[in-house]
Chain A
Amino acid sequence: MPYQFTVSPDFSPDHLSGWYIFNTWLQKQLGEAVHLEMYDCFQTQKAVIESNGIDLIYANPFDAAMLVRKKGFRPLARPVGVSDEAIIAVNAESLIYDVADLSSGIKIAVTDDPDIRLMGMIMLEAGDLNLNNTIIISCDAYILVAKQLLKGNADVGVFLAEAYDGLSNIVKSKLRVIVRSEISVIHHGLMIGPKLAHRKMDILELLVGMKNNDKGQDVLKSLGFRAWDKVEDEEMEFMIDLMDALSV
């Protein structure tokens, strides 16, 4: 039975093939069979994690608490210089310039990325907005969040900053950012489960060393990363505490 690897369903479509390339590289380096399964929604993936069906995961920070505290996962590494930031944007012609200009009853376009949704709602809270006094429009992708704003269906959109920045210039010219988060300590990361834990040091060494050889660099490039940095247990605990504090 191969080990089971999965990636947070909010992966960018541009890097889908990159994750398969990464998995092929990993199996070869590690000399173990690892099966990569991509899930298209967080609920499905969570059910598999719950039933102990995952051994290695590139996890969303929102799921880190459950992985560490309930499922015995430990952090391995994070991509250098990549952190999760959220953006609140409006249609460029909107009369809204500040979160304080918004009032209850507004429509918010979001995806189901749990950490970005959380960060977005926290930024909107400064305008007394919450899930009880707003209408959520759930979208399958950030480009669809943008479309909801362009069509005037939604008053504000919540974006992963990286996804917003990656929208075409034509789309961006019709939108306007009202808040961009600067949190910097919330990030995705590779985490390892109990069944694969005996290879933790080997995998970590491979990941951290990737940037030092041509093959490793090619694989990193296909993922859009520069390098992997080790994540210490305490660093992960701190991020989990932070997410806990933001969730209440």
Chain B
Amino acid sequence: MRDFKPEDVIGDYKEALLALYGGLSRLVLYTDIEIPYPDGKLIVSTTDKNGIITHVNKAFVEMSGYTEDELIGSPHSILRHPDMPSVAFKDLWDTVNKGEYWQGIVKNLRKDGGYYWVKATVIPNIRNNEVVSYTSVRRKPSRTKVEDAKRLYATLK
């Protein structure tokens, strides 16, 4: 995954170095600009069993700011925001690896450095009794749920 480039970012930004799975690290640039979740839409993506993106819908492309080509084949941590505690994603992976669904409020980072909050449901895709991939379906979270998550995540970092 490529580091952020200042020319892609809109507005004043801060820097963070994310430590990602498998010893990878990524320099991200992020701003205080929130993009509201689009009313009535679902943001959908599918990954393989290793979390590599294999499918995204149009709303996903629009909200993330990346092109479909940039997204397909990339780890899903391409959206990882420095304000998200890593325990949240550990819980996500522990849960779906057991074949169960995971639900949570997630702050995602856009290519332009802005962010958006979602309520995500990640489910294992089971075909012929085997988990073959994972799908995440995101909907608009309520403001109170976002405020609760902000408070909680600040204590978990």
B121 within 8 A of A: yes
| Contact yes or no, A241 B125, CB < 8 A | yes
| CB–CB B41/A245 < 8 A | no
Judged by a CB distance under 8 angstroms, whether B57 is at the interface is yes
Complex: A128 Cα to B147 Cα, angstroms: 12
A246 interfacial by beta-carbon distance below 8 Å: yes
Quick one: given A180-B40, A181-B40, A183-B41, are A245 and B121 in contact (CB under 8 Å)?
yes
CB-based nearest A residue for B41: A182
A102 → chain B closest CB, angstroms: 11
Find out whether the CB atom of B44 lies under 8 angstroms from the CB atom of A242: yes
Nearest-neighbour CB distance to chain B for A164, whole angstroms, equals 13
Other-chain contact of A242, B37, B101, B119, B137 (Cβ < 8 Å): B137
**Are B137's CB and A245's CB within 8 A?**
yes
Does A197 reach chain B (CB closer than 8 Å)? no
A112 at the binding interface (Cβ < 8 Å): no
Flag whether A206 is at the interface (Cβ < 8 A): no
A125 x B40 contact (CB < 8 A):
no
- B135 engages A125 (CB within 8 Å): no
Annotate B35-59 by CB proximity to A: 1 below 8 A, 0 otherwise.
0011111101000000000000101
Shortest Cβ distance from B99 into chain A, in angstroms? 13
| Cβ contact of A126, chosen from B103, B123, B142, cutoff 8 A | B142
B101 CB contacts on chain A under 8 angstroms: 244-245, 248
Given contacts A245-B123, A248-B101, contact A100 B137 (CB under 8 A): no
Interface residues in A212-248 (C-beta closer than 8 Å to B): 237-238, 241-242, 244-246, 248
Please tell me if B155 contacts chain A, counting CB pairs below 8 Å: no
B143 to chain A, nearest CB (A): 6
Taking the closest CB of chain B, its distance from the CB of A178, in whole angstroms, is 8
Residue ID in chain B nearest A247 by CB atoms? B121
| B42 and A125 contact, CB distance less than 8 A | no
Q: Mark A160-172, 1 if CB is under 8 A from B, else 0.
A: 0000000000000
Q: B140 in the interface, Cβ–Cβ < 8 Å?
A: yes
Which residues of B have CB within 8 Å of A123? 39-40, 140
Interface footprint category on A: 20 to 34
Q: Are A126 and B141 in contact (CB under 8 A)?
A: yes
B107 at the interface (CB under 8 A from A): no
Whether the Cβ atoms of B121 and A246 lie closer than 8 Å is yes
Given contacts A125-B142, A128-B145, contact A246 B125 (CB under 8 A): no
Within the complex, the shortest CB–CB distance from A233 to chain B, in Å, comes to 9
**Is A49 positioned at the interface, with any CB of B under 8 Å from its CB?**
no
Q: Digit string of B117-157 for contact with A (CB within 8 Å is 1, else 0)?
A: 00101110101000000011101111111000000000000
B144 pairs with A128, CB closer than 8 A: yes
19 interchain pairs, CB-CB under 8 A: A122-B139, A123-B40, A125-B119, A125-B139, A125-B142, A126-B37, A179-B39, A180-B40, A237-B127, A241-B135, A242-B42, A242-B44, A242-B135, A242-B137, A244-B123, A245-B137, A246-B42, A246-B121, A246-B139
B residues bordering A, Cβ < 8 Å? 37-42, 44, 57, 59, 101, 103, 119, 121-123, 125, 127, 135-137, 139-145
Known: A185-B44, A185-B57, A246-B42. 16 other contacts (CB 8 A): A122-B139, A123-B140, A125-B119, A180-B40, A183-B40, A183-B41, A237-B125, A241-B123, A242-B42, A242-B137, A244-B123, A245-B136, A245-B137, A246-B137, A248-B103, A248-B121
